[in-house]
Amino acid sequence: MVELLPSILSADFAHLADEVKAAERGGGTVIHFDVMDGHFVPNLTIGPPVLESLRKVTRLPIDCHMMVENPDDFVEAFAEGGADWMSVHYEVCRNLHRTLQNIKHHGMEPAVVINPATAVDLLIPVLDMVHHVLVMSVNPGFGGQSFIPYSLVKIRRLKELREELGLNYRIEVDGGVAHDTIGQVVEAGADLLVAGSAVFSHGRAEQNARELLQAAQVAAAASA
C-alpha cells in the first residue's frame, strides 16, 4: 500500500497543528520530521521540544529523519518525545548495527537512510533489521530541490533485494517527490512517499496531499 508522508519542513511552523491536520485530511498517514544539526547538513531545524508539541496534536506515526552527525546521542530523547520511526544515515553511523538495535530497544521502528552518492548494496548486512530503507532523492538539507533520477535505479535494486532475501522492509523516498515524479517512484517500487514542498506550498496542504496521493495510487494500480 502506498502512503503519503507530509514533511513538515515546508510547513508554516507558526501554524504547525493546522498544517498537519490539513495534510492528514488530505490523506497523509505518517508525519515526516526532519532533524538537521548544521554539521551533517548545512541547515538547522527542529528537535525534541517541537516533537513533543506535535505529539499532542496528531495521532499519526511520526517518522524522524535524523540528519545529524551523532544520532546515538538523541535516540532516548526522541523516543521520550513521542517518535514512532527513526531513520539514521549510513554515512555517519560507525556502528550502524548497534544504532539500529538501540532504536528498536527504545520502542521505535529502526530505518537506515542513504544519500544520493551511497550505494544500496552497502546496506545488505542490515536489511533484515530495518522497518524501512529511506532513499534520498536529493542531497539532504533543504526542501524544494529537484529529484535525482538515478534514485529510481536504487529503489528498483532495493525491491529486487527484498525479494531475493525474502525480507519485508518498506522502501521510502525523500526529496523532489511531486506531481511530475511521484508516478515514477511508485512504479520503481517505493511505497512510503515523503513530500514537503509539494504538500505545503501555497497554504493548500489538504488539496495538495489529496492530489499527490491520488497520482500515487493510480501509478500503484497500473504497476500492480
Binding footprint of ligand DX5 on the chain (CB under 6 A):
7, 9-10, 32, 34, 65, 138, 140-145, 174-177, 194-198
SS3 for 55? helix
The Cα–Cα gap between 63 and 49 comes to 15
| Per-position DSSP letters for 132-167, written without gaps between them | EEEEESS-TT-SSPPP-TTHHHHHHHHHHHHHHHT-
Establish if 191 lies at the interface with Zn ion (CB under 5 A).
no
Q: Is 34 a catalytic residue?
A: yes
Nearer to Zn ion, 177 or 213 (CB): 177
Contact with Zn ion (CB under 5 A) among 65, 132, 157, 210: 65
Which of Zn ion, ligand DX5, none has residue 196 at its interface (CB below 5 to 8 Å by kind)?
ligand DX5
Residue tagged active-site, from 18, 34, 63, 121 = 34
Residue tagged active-site, from 37, 63, 84, 174 = 174
Query: CA geometry: angle at 117 spanning 144 and 42, to 5°?
Result: 50
Written as nine digits, the cell of 133 is: 530503507
Which of Zn ion, ligand DX5, none has residue 144 at its interface (CB below 5 to 8 Å by kind)?
ligand DX5
Cell 548495527 sits at which residue?
A: 97
Counting residues that bind Zn ion (by CB under 5 A) gives 3
Nearer to ligand DX5, 95 or 146 (CB): 146
The Cα–Cα gap between 182 and 180 comes to 6
Establish if 174 lies at the interface with Zn ion (CB under 5 A).
yes
What is the separation, in whole angstroms, between the first and last Cα of the chain?
11
Q: E strand or H helix at 23, and its extent? A: helix 16-25
Which of ligand DX5, Zn ion, none has residue 27 at its interface (CB below 5 to 8 Å by kind)?
none
Residues that bind Zn ion (CB under 5 A): 34, 65, 174
